[in-house]
Structure 1
Amino acid sequence: MTNAKLRQALRFLGVDEAAGRVYLALLEVAPAPLGAVGASAGLGDEELAAAYGELVDAGLASAADEAGDVVAPVPPAAGLEILARHRAAEVEESRIAVGGAFESFRRHRLAAYNDDLVEVVTGDAIGARMRHAWASAREQIRQFESPPYVAVPGAREDALATLARGVTQRVVYSRASLEHPGHLKDVIEPCIEAGEQARVLPSVPVKLLIIDEAYALVSLSITEADVVNTLLVVQPCGLLSALVALFEQSWHNALPLHGGTARPGGLAPADRRLLRLLAGGASDEAIARELGVSRRTLFRRLQILMARLGAANRFQLALQAERAGWL
Structure 2
Amino acid sequence: MANQKLGEALRLLGIDHAAVRVYLALLDLSPAPMSAIAASSGLDGAELTEAYGELVDAGLASAAGADGDVVAPVPPTAGLEILARHRTAEVEDSRLTVDGAFESFRRQRLAAYNDNLVEVVTGDAIGPRMRQAWASARDQIRQLESPPYFPLPGAMDDAMATLARGVTQRVVYSRDSLEHPGRLKEAIEPAIKAGEQARVLASVPVKLVIIDEAYALVSLSIKEADVHNTMLVVQPCGLLSALVALFEQSWQSALPFHGSTTRPGGLPPADRRLLWLLASGAGDDVIAREMGISRRTLFRRLQILMARLGAANRFQMALQAQRCGWL
| SS of the residue 1:293 aligns to | coil
| SS of the residue 1:311 aligns to | coil
Could you report, residue by residue, the CA deviation over 1:74-116 in whole angstroms, capped at 9, with x for unpaired residues? Answer: 974587355664554344323312x2x2134224541145531
- 1:4-83 superposed matches below 5 A: 76=77, 80=81
Letter aligned with residue 267 of structure 2: L
| SS of the residue 1:124 aligns to | helix
Letter aligned with residue 103 of structure 1: E
Aligned length in residues: 252
Root-mean-square deviation over aligned CA pairs = 2.7
Label 1:201 to 1:322 Cα distance change in 2 as closer, same or farther (>3 A): farther
| SS of the residue 2:265 aligns to | helix
Label 1:103 to 1:260 Cα distance change in 2 as closer, same or farther (>3 A): closer
Q: Distance in 2 between matches of 1:225 and 1:296?
A: 38
Identity of aligned residues (%): 77
Cross-structure match for 2:46: none
- Tell whether the 8 Å contact from 1:260 to 1:325 is kept in structure 2 after alignment: no
Q: Distance in 2 between matches of 1:181 and 1:230?
A: 24
- Tell whether the 8 Å contact from 1:221 to 1:230 is kept in structure 2 after alignment: no
Cross-structure match for 1:160: 160
| SS of the residue 1:95 aligns to | helix
- Tell whether the 8 Å contact from 1:113 to 1:119 is kept in structure 2 after alignment: no
- Tell whether the 8 Å contact from 1:260 to 1:326 is kept in structure 2 after alignment: no
Cross-structure match for 1:50: none
Instruction: State the shift of 1:143 in Å.
Output: 0.6
Letter aligned with residue 164 of structure 1: A
Label 1:265 to 1:79 Cα distance change in 2 as closer, same or farther (>3 A): closer
| SS of the residue 2:171 aligns to | strand
Cross-structure match for 1:198: 198
Matched, 1:92 2:94: yes
Could you report, residue by residue, the CA deviation over 1:41-73 in whole angstroms, capped at 9, with x for unpaired residues? Answer: xxxxxxxxxxxxxxxxxxxxxxxxxxxxxxxxx
Instruction: State the shift of 1:308 in Å.
Output: 3.2
Cross-structure match for 2:279: 279
Cross-structure match for 1:253: 253
Matched, 1:311 2:311: yes
- 1:158-237 superposed matches below 5 A: 158-221=158-221, 229-237=229-237
Cross-structure match for 1:131: 131
- Tell whether the 8 Å contact from 1:201 to 1:254 is kept in structure 2 after alignment: yes
With normalisation by structure 1, the TM-score equals 0.69
Label 1:258 to 1:225 Cα distance change in 2 as closer, same or farther (>3 A): closer
| SS of the residue 1:204 aligns to | coil
Cross-structure match for 1:264: 264
Label 1:209 to 1:294 Cα distance change in 2 as closer, same or farther (>3 A): same
Cross-structure match for 2:296: 296
Letter aligned with residue 214 of structure 2: A
Cross-structure match for 2:51: none
Label 1:298 to 1:167 Cα distance change in 2 as closer, same or farther (>3 A): same
Instruction: State the shift of 1:254 in Å.
Output: 0.7
Label 1:184 to 1:177 Cα distance change in 2 as closer, same or farther (>3 A): same
Q: Distance in 2 between matches of 1:90 and 1:325?
A: 29
Cross-structure match for 2:36: none
Label 1:324 to 1:173 Cα distance change in 2 as closer, same or farther (>3 A): farther
Cross-structure match for 2:146: 146
Q: Distance in 1 between matches of 2:226 and 2:160?
A: 34
Instruction: State the shift of 1:125 in Å.
Output: 1.4
Instruction: State the shift of 1:170 in Å.
Output: 0.7
With normalisation by structure 2, the TM-score equals 0.69
Letter aligned with residue 142 of structure 2: R
| SS of the residue 1:151 aligns to | coil
Q: Distance in 1 between matches of 2:263 and 2:299?
A: 22
Cross-structure match for 1:103: 103
Instruction: State the shift of 1:122 in Å.
Output: 1.1
Letter aligned with residue 220 of structure 1: L
Structure 2, gaps ≥5 residues long = 1-74
